[in-house]
Structure 1
Amino acid sequence: MTRTKIVAAALLTLALAVPTATAAAVDAYGGGAHGWTPATNDSGKAAVKDNSSDGDPVKAEYYRTDTTETKRTLWNHSGPGTTSYSADGARIYKFQVCDENYGTPDDCSGWKIS
């Protein structure tokens, strides 16, 4: 085995064996919506910011590890430049953000894994 393969195997083994304390930050953009998790350095929180002035709300849809079948929705109806945060809970493992469009399909980011 070459030295490069040995080092790669050792790093992979270490990465799998040592759990991380924090999740990597994941950002999502959909229309005028910007969302991210973890929010406030808490893997159980998501945030969604309204970056448009179209008058439509934005939302983050997400799933938690303790209720994997339950889709939750965080709405931000507060207007341009504002950010809403979800309540704390189990780790958020999948989410997307959307800019609500009344009468037409929403502009969504697509699902992100965190």
Structure 2
Amino acid sequence: MSAMSGRSVRRTGFAAFVALVLGLGLGSTQAWAYYAWNSDDYAVTYNSDTQVKVCDMEADTNAVEAEYWRNYASSSSHLWDTDGAGPDNCKYSGTGNAVYKMRVCEQRFAEPDSCGSWAYRP
């Protein structure tokens, strides 16, 4: 390889590296979501964590709830999928401040609700 072509390869590699770093650095908005689970039922954030979707994945007649906290809120919010019809039956919240923690609960007849662990915004 000549000295000229070697420099060209190094420049091209360096330019690709710079483009990658700048692309990662400039993309400051979150490009992923986070999930909370309870058995097969789940909740997920989207739209930069400003909205929540809760999905009942079991056809067991039990209602499913996403309980979540938004930044600057003084109390939690609740999003219910009440029909218990599953699978992949989802309800969607409106927008608001970013959700920083959430969990999924399943309402059970004549028993305490079953709740999964809290999931926190990364």
What TM-score do the two structures reach when normalised by structure 1?
A: 0.73
Q: Structure 1 or 2: larger strand share?
A: 1
Which whole-Å CA distance do the structure 1 matches of 2:104 and 2:70 have between them? 15
Which whole-Å CA distance do the structure 2 matches of 1:45 and 1:20 have between them? 18
CA contact (8 A) 2:33 2:48 kept: no
What TM-score do the two structures reach when normalised by structure 2?
A: 0.68
1:18-37 correspondence to structure 2 within 5 Å: 20-22=28-30, 24-37=32-45
- Is 1:74 aligned to residue 82 of structure 2? no
- Is 1:64 aligned to residue 50 of structure 2? no
- Is 1:96 aligned to residue 71 of structure 2? no
CA contact (8 A) 1:31 1:98 kept: no
How far off is 1:23 after superposition? 6.2
Name structure 2 gaps, 5 residues minimum.
Answer: 1-25
Size of the alignment, in residue pairs? 95
Name structure 1 gaps, 5 residues minimum.
Answer: 1-17
CA RMSD of aligned residues (A): 2.1
How far off is 1:34 after superposition? 1.1
CA contact (8 A) 2:29 2:48 kept: no
Q: Percent identity?
A: 28
User: Who wins on radius of gyration, i.e. which is larger?
Assistant: 2
CA contact (8 A) 1:100 1:107 kept: yes
How far off is 1:45 after superposition? 0.3
Q: Structure 1 or 2: larger helix share?
A: 2
